[in-house]
Amino acid sequence: MAQVTVPIGPQHPSLKEPASFSITLEGERICHAGMRLGYNHRGMEKAAESRTFIQNIHLLERVCGICSHSHSTNYVSAVEAVAGLKIPDRASHIRTLIGELERLHSHFLWLGVAGHEIGLDTLLMYSWRDREPIMDILAMLCGNRVNYGINTIGGVRRDITPEQLQEVLKVVNQLEERTKYYVELALTDTTLGQRLAKVGHLSHEDAVRFGAVGPTARASKVDRDTRRDAPYLSFGKIEFKVITDDHEDVFGRTVVRVCELIESYKIIRQVIATMPDGPITVKAPRKIPAGEATSRNEAPRGENIHYVRSNGTDKPDRVKVRASTMANLGSVAKMMEANYLADVPIIIAAIDPCFSCTDRAVQVNDLSRGDSTVMSFKDLRKYSIEWYRREAGVDLGALNTKLAKRLAAR
Amino acid sequence: MPELTPIQEALEANFPCLAGKVVVPRPMQAFVEVPEESFRAVFDYALEKLGFDRLCTITGFDDVNSLSVLYHLSHPDGNMLNIRRRAPRDNPVITTVTDRFPGGANYERELEDLLGFEVTGLPKGPRYPLPDNFPTDIKPLRKDWKPPQPKKTAP
């Protein structure tokens, strides 16, 4: 049978972030998949070198809008390790609490997206409804729904009152009941089972070989979780189960994520029950002594890695960010092999990809023009019309005018 | 003198060139700089004998006088081994590790795109992460490259 290559993306139905996939088909079956990334490349690592250690907390928190706390915790932990700082236990507990709340809202978000990708929008409505109370709790504790701004070098910037902790417990209790229903749904619902089972298969061997992380790896029987294997923050004192599954497909990835919600509730309860009194920060030097550290953090999508090297000044010499999606992308092409074209959206979505995380690194300007400017919306629109006229032979400006006239004549 | 960790002991016992070079600045994190001629042997030993089965990422550096690369490996028991190799700044050619970790291709493409390394043996593929029309002679993570500053600010 003749092979046909179908381009999917950079803008495509699978998710709202850009990534370009090149899918080669034999009939409806995928025989090869390639990808082109980099569309969200923003210059974070280069930018970090010209900012102070403190300024970088706010920069690196914006690597991702969903696991922002994971990235900022990862970064400040690396800086604290280089500086030899030990943060107070209360600060460690607060960081752990926010991290688990972040995992909850991320997994609920994914559950909704997965439902949407397979046409089960009821699940989207349910799970995004349940995500809202968590966002409200995060806003109450940190002042923001995302990009929480809670971390600083040496601890956290805001304390939590006993009343706020009670509010968290109230929401956790409510959500746990609903989550039990989702667990039952994931394990027994025929629609979900038939649509997701055997789709996007990734064997245990391939998951290890391609370096998959997080729920993607754990759904292929890879028993790895940084929270248990290399305990950070308060995880060394907390009991929880690392969820693994042996389905090795999208169904398994769904089971792992919904079951992880239950474990996160357990972690949050333990954190609140053992929240120590005391200070929330220690004094950190403005200039960080020369040294290097690698920091690891189990973000909702899997392990994030930050590396920080200091040269003894107030600015880092090098900051490296490796987000979990970057680790999981290696295995996506393998997951697609022998699946149907119609399964592409859910297979991509099943790693819970985040391309803004993946493509953090360097500011890109149009150097062919010899300078760099920040464009206004009007300039940007004009530039895009000119670009399409020049490069693609399409006059969007004329088409727009024509369309406007036609509409006005009706 | 602090006690050597098992990773330090194993590396120093098997590779005399690493004597005193394996640094453990904090628990579960070891750093070692390996001479280029021994890199592959040490890397393979870490995988096969020490059990470091995951390539977490690869970090490239411009150390001004030379370029260097740090391979971050992790073990199922939570330990991390960071292996550094060095390359001359004017001819930064290194060999690929994608034969052992196929998922590491994008990390090596980053080394090529952002720092100007030439990674021999890296399978062909699109550049990453810079756009196709980005000048190939500009290596943004080199210290001598400064990003152009905007002329005016957004309204």
> A57-61, A79-83, A253-257, B130-134: lowest mean pLDDT where?
B130-134
Find, in chain A, the residue whose alpha carbon is nearest to that of B124: A34
In a domain, B29, yes or no: yes
Q: Are B92 and B118 in contact (CB under 8 A)?
A: yes
User: How many CB atoms neighbour CB B40 within 10 A?
Assistant: 14
Owning domain of residue B70:
6-90
Residue B2: band (very low, low, confident or very high) from pLDDT cuts 50, 70, 90:
low
Residue A363: band (very low, low, confident or very high) from pLDDT cuts 50, 70, 90:
very low
Q: Are B87 and B94 in contact (CB under 8 A)?
A: yes
Percent of chain A at pLDDT exceeding 70: 94
d(CA A335, CA A346): 11
Find, in chain A, the residue whose alpha carbon is nearest to that of B113: A362
Give this prediction's pTM.
0.88
CA dihedral A264, A265, A270, A273 (to 10 degrees): 140
d(CA A341, CA B104): 26
Q: Where are the domains of chain A?
A: 44-332, 376-410
Q: Is the dihedral of CA A203, A208, A209, A210 positive or negative?
A: positive
> A28-32, A266-270, B127-131, B150-154: lowest mean pLDDT where?
B150-154
Q: Measuring CA to CA, which residue among B107, B90, B84, B85 is closest to residue B142?
A: B90
Q: Are A360 and A324 in contact (CB under 8 A)?
A: no
Contact A211 B101 (CB under 8 A): yes
Which tens digits make up the pLDDT trace of B53-84?
A: 999 999 999 999 999 999 999 999 999 999 99
Interface of B with A in 70-129 (CB under 8 A): 70, 72, 74, 76-80, 82, 101-107, 110, 114, 125-129
CATH of the domain at B86: 3.30.460.80
Contact A296 B74 (CB under 8 A): yes
Q: Are A334 and A210 in contact (CB under 8 A)?
A: yes
In a domain, B64, yes or no: yes
Residues 6+ apart with CB under 8 A from A68: A61, A62, A102, A146, A147, A148
Size of interface A-B (CB pairs under 8 A): 138
In a domain, B63, yes or no: yes
Question: For residue A364, is pLDDT > 60?
Answer: no
Residue A403: band (very low, low, confident or very high) from pLDDT cuts 50, 70, 90:
confident
Question: For residue A367, is pLDDT > 90?
Answer: no
d(CA A332, CA A284): 42
Task: Indicate the residue of B78, B101, B138 with minimum beta-carbon distance to A230.
Answer: B78
Q: Measuring CA to CA, which residue among A235, A265, A72 is closest to residue A168?
A: A265
Q: Are A250 and A347 in contact (CB under 8 A)?
A: yes
B20-29 residues labelled b (16+ CB within 10 A) or e (exposed): ebbebeeebb
Residues of chain B with Cβ-Cβ distance to A363 below 8 Å are: 140, 147
- In the predicted model, what is the mean pLDDT of chain A? 90
What single-letter amino acid sits at B97? Answer: V
Q: What are phi and psi of A29, to 5 degrees?
A: -90, 140
Question: For residue A59, is pLDDT > 50?
Answer: yes
Q: Does A203 touch chain B (CB under 8 A)?
A: no
In a domain, B53, yes or no: yes
Contact A374 B76 (CB under 8 A): no
Q: Are A96 and A276 in contact (CB under 8 A)?
A: no
Q: Does A352 touch chain B (CB under 8 A)?
A: no
Interface of B with A in 18-37 (CB under 8 A): 25-26, 28-29, 31
Which tens digits make up the pLDDT trace of A151-207?
A: 999 999 999 999 999 999 999 999 999 999 999 988 898 988 999 999 999 999 999
Output the CA–CA distances (angstroms, integers) from residue A113 to A5, A126, A138, A293, B96, in the order listed. 26, 11, 21, 35, 37
Interface of A with B in 169-198 (CB under 8 A): none
Output the CA–CA distances (angstroms, integers) from residue A297 to A73, A156, A227, A233, B130, in the order listed. 8, 17, 7, 9, 27
Q: Does A225 touch chain B (CB under 8 A)?
A: no
Q: Note the helical H segments in A288-341.
A: 324-336
Q: So what's the pLDDT on residue A365?
A: 46
In chain B, the number of structural domains is: 1
Q: Measuring CA to CA, which residue among A60, A88, A90, A62 is closest to residue A76?
A: A60
Q: Does B2 touch chain A (CB under 8 A)?
A: no
> A54-58, A183-187, B35-39, B67-71: lowest mean pLDDT where?
A183-187
Task: Indicate the residue of B28, B29, B135 with minimum beta-carbon distance to A367.
Answer: B135
Beta strands of A187-335 (E only): which ranges? 291-299, 302-310, 316-322
What proportions of chain B, in percent to the nearest 5, are helix, strand and coil? Answer: 25, 30, 45
In a domain, B150, yes or no: no
A274: left (phi over 0), alpha (psi -120 to 50) or beta: alpha
d(CA A356, CA A104): 20
d(CA A56, CA B79): 27
Q: Note the helical H segments in A219-317.
A: 226-229, 250-273
Residue A357: band (very low, low, confident or very high) from pLDDT cuts 50, 70, 90:
low
Residues 6+ apart with CB under 8 A from A33: A21, A22, A23, A24, A332, A333, A336, A337
d(CA B51, CA B44): 10
Question: For residue A14, is pLDDT > 90?
Answer: no
Fold for the domain defined by A44-332: Cytochrome-c3 Hydrogenase; chain B (1.10.645)
